[in-house]
Structure 1
Amino acid sequence: MSFSDLPWPLLQTVAAIADAPLTQIADQLRDALLPHMGSSALVIFTEDCTGRPQKKSGQEDIVSRVSIAELDELRADLSDGSPWFGEAVLAGRPRPVLALKHAPSQALLVLTDPRPANPQGNPGLELVTYLWGIAARRIQEKVADAPPSYLAESRAASAERIRVTAELTDLHSTTLETLLAALRSSSLDDAAARTTVTDLAAKALVGLRTLSHRTTDLVEEPVAKAFERLREDLRPLTRFSGIEVEFIEPPLNGRALPGEVAHAARAVVRGLVLAMTEQPEVSRIRTQWDCDGENLLINVRDDGRGALAADAPSIARLDRRVQALTGQLRMDVMPGWGADIFVSLPLDLPTRPSGDAAGWNLATRELEVLQHLAAGQRNRTIASTMGISENTVKFHVRNLFKKLDVGSRTEAIALAHSHGLR
């Protein structure tokens, strides 16, 4: 095949997906698929992005209303990574969909109202599967190598989603519990109606609680599960490199890890193990996780000749990722005996602001409002707590946006968290 005979449109499509930022990968994938599989909307559901598990492109009435609960239910119905055509509830009503699950990451792709370009045999379906596999792998890789700013904003978004979900849960739970009490009252004589409505309300209450727990699960990962995912990530290396990798598991009852900490921990260990395997005369690597209730403690040790350099670019990149989560990385290199690396990742954001916050020149009241924002409080709650009007809170928030040079509450919260405010 000559250079001119190469499938350049396809290669350019693959390059566009591979290079797309996480915030644009849904748009790029949908543009790539449209010549082969039309759709009214494209939705990606991935737990790798804890702050933004949904990535969407297409009709606004669909992408603005599709819920995590709907996507999670659809994914649970898929037995493997094969394409599935059928009807599913998306954005509040049944729709025809094409759904594919990426087995390694459990990420889900959904196309609503799919329209094959060539229904006869539909050869485009193979290309859809191929491009989705590339996109899903790139999402994993981009999250693993995400810059500190993304990690901070993702963590802020995760905290905000938990807060909003908890608030909605409390509100609707109270409503439903009141409804149940009224319908069970002996003063109501329509027994059949009372029984029917009671059953429906009880089912809605269970569903709401399940949604709350499911949302929390997205931003927290049991430490044992996180470690098992690390073992799976490193399994090909242990199988083909000839190097023995020993895993010392964390306590089963250890505290759950925030999503960003779990992702960072796996990425750091993978990076350290790969750096160690590049040394000569390494035959064994030992990795251990532990948890002291406040920090995830990681230790990775090799039996090489101590040739790993503390100032190597690969180690420096991993150190920056650790620092992005206010963690610490310490490395002991023993000539003739190998390298011993210790990493500590805090499970909670620091409660005290760093000295850098002084450079924002915030007034006392503005700093107090920022602290409440960083804690996930809404304007009405902040006003009540501080004893001021809601309009005054809005005034302080506008000033904060100008002084912090941000354009949204999420950006302000992410910046505050990166400076130790919570």
Structure 2
Amino acid sequence: MALSSWGDPEFALRMASRLVQAPLRETLECFSAVLADLVPHRALVMLTGDCSRFPLMWHGEAEVTEGLDNGDLTALSRLVEVGRPWTGQASLGGVSRPVLAVAAAPNGSAGALLAVVLPDGGFPEGVRQRVVQQLWDISTAHVVDQLVEAVPVHIAGTWAAASERARLVAELNAEYTSVLTAQLGALRSKGLDDATARRTAIDLAVSALIELRAAADQDRAAGEETAADAFARLAGTLSLLTRYGDVQLELAGPERGDRVLPADVALAARATVRDAVLVVLDHGGVSRVRVAWQVEDGGLQVSVRDNGPGRLSKDSAAVHRISDRLLGLNGSLHVDSVPDWGTALTAVLPLTPPEVPDAHPLGVLNPRELDVLALLTLGRRNRQIAEQLHISEHTVKFHVANILNKLEVGSRGEAAAVARDAGLPSRPPVATLAT
């Protein structure tokens, strides 16, 4: 293709239009097609700071792209300035290759580097390099825009993992709090000399570490446990909290100890009691704490009662933290504080777990079906969708049928309504220019 073609405004706009309409995952494929005659190349490699999941992407000959890693492009990025094309030999996959590299960082972007792997035989002239730079500026801005607009279907799994991580972090935090409280109790105890107190604190830490590891293994291996076993594990933790203090601990285990509890319910019950005991001990003036579990047909009731000053407010931050833990299991917490008589915290946890909805209503669709649905939502007909996505009408019909089936709807209008409710798309893509 003659360079003069790029001096034609209609042609240049048509090429730019192709770039800003490319689906995110087809960015490099489209860029390669636009670049093919302007700068012949063997492969394109991109390193972006805007996509943490797939920062390194490539398109082209397998011989070139095999063995690539982030380090290759990271090293190259140190040689390239934003807006200033760079040419030279670069190591890619352990092989030195001729490269034209450009970098762009539009507003809202962490920056993106493109390495155009050239055939042997020289580098493109300066004006072609500048055209590549300008095209990459356009393409990078479009990528940033797509990342902002994207429906987070692909991170549904990440959401679930993050939720589970948050639960585990909260559990471990509470476990560590219990251990540290017990250690402080030993170190502050007036009945232990310094050497004994230190030795006791060390013993507590070692035994707690063993218990934490055993508990983690059991939680991973089991999906349920009996009420008696769950209460026994709780009793071991509570004994650490009161062993060297001046607080008498009374434990009333469940009468129906053979009743099986879901692992989540047992875990939440132990955590609730442990947190409640820490709260009442923190308020001071407590010499006796009674913990009781009762298994009923509809759920598990756990209670913590003390003989303290009875000034714990149901609106306190500590109480809200306990309540928040119960919300995910449709549990409830009741606080009854009577001045000079003490405080009672009672939680009820249903034994039947709540139904968990899909992480995202469009999570059942694959990326191409999402592309089709986005255009369908904008009122595009099959022919228009086919033209914009560069596929056949027959393929569009196939995708539409799959979309209706997966979303369990009976018409394109119903599918569009589901998509709009899910936030797809927030604005229409750029219209296709005539070719």
Give the TM-score of the pair, scaled to structure 2. 0.35
Which of 1 and 2 has greater Rg? 2
